[in-house]
Chain A
């Protein structure tokens, strides 16, 4: 018991430390009443180009305006665009709160619709096919008009003016495959498909503007279709694991791997114009932010975006740096101001930057292990922050589940009949895929820590409830019978016999729940709750292995630690005279 208490105390301290540090996800939304009148907003926006103010607003809670909550979906281009939105707003004196890497279209749009986020970059074709579930149309302008009108009418969501580029699906093959089989168009591909293995993202396989549509429009029937994640499909193609993949026309990796993009000769893919998608309430409340964001309208082009994506995915450049360069390149934020910001000695980012450069240079001479270790060291503050958040998510959800499930399990032992049914029903929660569960909860709980904790709480109930119930029910029947026959009251039986004998089993349930939770908590990143899933999601999106490992390794270590600690606790709660296998 003592050891568990120590662990809990340690965790509580970590949690306390977390609470005193500003972290992006801990900024609760303030009441919109403070958002201010247009004049107040105008006066706030006026001195925007001055560097001093930028420094202040980067701290994000400056001023009376609520921070604008900006989200992205979990892929590189979405991160870059969202960061451009964020830095542009900051440069105009508007505080922002970043919630990048939200699960998928359903979660990001769900969060926007419910007002949990204010804006995220979306594509008209995706909106048409994946959200509205409508037929493809070839005309970009018509699609934009239709989507913008429908979204406004149906969900009060507004599409800002298109950013100026399209990012459509790009079906790609290796250059030698294209030359060997004479492939230039999707029609050519459909002709040869019977001998090819395709590797598509699960998203593409399911969407009507993906594989099903491709089948219908071109009669494309590959010999085999493998579901592959974004992060691995290029490798799989280059290593000849597959012959065809779905890329994006703005992918940085298409150029890097010298791939051939096949022409959509039947005009099957709808236009995927990128634009900011904003919540209607936000649109009315914050004309200042809308005005700032509108500065980007039509400024971007495919070549630029492809270059940014290449930097993010191939060079591993930080997204913040890419966005800063992008805004300078577009002439929206004066670079001098940014440099002034960087040279500010008080700014920790500025002092960290040269350190990073130096370390990166030195790294190339060292082994990958040493390189990774130094990467972890440089990012220790972030990683520790993620780990703390992760531990808080796990502890809070687990404690809440134990407080409910242990008494519930004890009650179930006393009711005859029906207990198994209740437990099995709770067990059904376990079968809901975690992303789906998170998506279901957005309407009620929004995004962030609360729904994440609630989801983890739900997943913890079953193992604790089941073990409490069976542990108490099956506790040494002969001993229980004899104790009852010699005059123990039901309460005495529970306290002196059943509970002590069931304690290791209950503890084992807690342990199972805790280990599951440590793993499952990584998906909290998909709804902006932070934790060690953050670097994993971002790393997957940016094809940055070190970033992925900087989340995955501490998460695995944490799981082992929790398992070991609770294993010890299990032995400690076993009463004397009772062996724990």
Chain B
């Protein structure tokens, strides 16, 4: 590939103006104070005969972290992917920053939202630094390299030591740190995390959880986190949303869930996880 490492070829500059609007809106306290950063309303998604989302409604307040918990196949990931237009709902509304997702150019929208998946999804043929610089580079920002270095520093990977490495030369935990750095390098208001620590061993996981918690607190970024680990949810999230079979069973602060489970399933889930 002949394109420069940190700057896009001119013809690939995508119009990202739409989403800059979003940041502007979110920053305006007068108009948007209390407006949820993410909102799903009566969202339905079907795959053939299977109902993945059954009239799900969820608000994520600006700056907060909501954890989506539930068994695999309960619809957590599908709901998460509605917010960056990777999944298009069959019915209902999905808003980001008070604006319907459908009204955004999906490519521009995605460049404004951080995303971390379980496998990390690093591009194996790109260096660590180039991976982290992906979003600023896609947006055509001159200082993509600087931003990437700063993001690497923030996740505890000195760019001088790690920047030139290939993803395959890193440990699993380091790779997930890089993935988080990549999600943050574009300074998004919102970050979507799909089982970000799911593939790691217990020690690395709790280490990474802690640093993510601090990071998030420091940056004030709105987070939606998919996990099947209730301990993780309790530790990281301001609110927990329990899903089962495509439906939302209960949403509430961890302590509310523990004291007043709205549903037998929630109670059972808490008990099984040993959280209660």
Contact = CB atoms under 8 A, between A and B. Distances in A.
B86 A489 contact: no
Interface in A553-581: 575-579
A500 B134 contact: no
B123 A479 contact: yes
Contacts of A478: 117, 119-121
A485 B182 CA distance: 12
A577 B121 CA distance: 14
Given A492-B12, A577-B166, A486 B111 contact: yes
B168 A496 contact: no
A496 B123 CA distance: 9
A442 interface: no
Contacts, number: 82
A15 B151 CA distance: 55
Contact of A481 (B121, B135, B168): B121
Nearest to B81: A485
Interface in A489-511: 489, 491-492, 495-497, 500-501
A485 B122 CA distance: 12
Given A496-B1, A500-B1, A487 B121 contact: no
A577 B127 contact: yes
A148 B260 CA distance: 103
A291 B217 CA distance: 103
A479 B121 contact: yes
A487 B123 contact: no
A484 interface: yes
Interface string B105-146: 001111110010101111111110000001100110000000
B125 A481 contact: no
B86 A487 contact: no
Contact of B124 (A479, A484, A487, A495): A479
B138 A577 contact: no
A53 interface: no
B1 A485 contact: no
Contacts of A575: 1, 124-125
B125 A577 contact: yes
Nearest to A480: B121
Given A479-B122, A496-B1, A501-B124, A488 B117 contact: no
Given A481-B117, A482-B115, A577-B167, A488 B138 contact: yes
Contacts of B167: 577
A178 to B, nearest CB: 73
A500 B134 CA distance: 16
Contact of B126 (A486, A492, A495, A577): A577
Counting from the closest, the 7 A-B pairs by CB-CB distance are: A482-B121, A487-B111, A575-B125, A577-B166, A478-B119, A487-B110, A485-B115
28 contacts: A478-B117, A478-B121, A479-B122, A479-B123, A482-B120, A482-B122, A482-B179, A483-B123, A484-B110, A485-B86, A485-B117, A485-B121, A486-B134, A486-B182, A487-B14, A487-B107, A487-B110, A487-B112, A487-B139, A496-B3, A500-B1, A500-B125, A577-B124, A577-B126, A577-B166, A577-B167, A577-B168, A578-B124
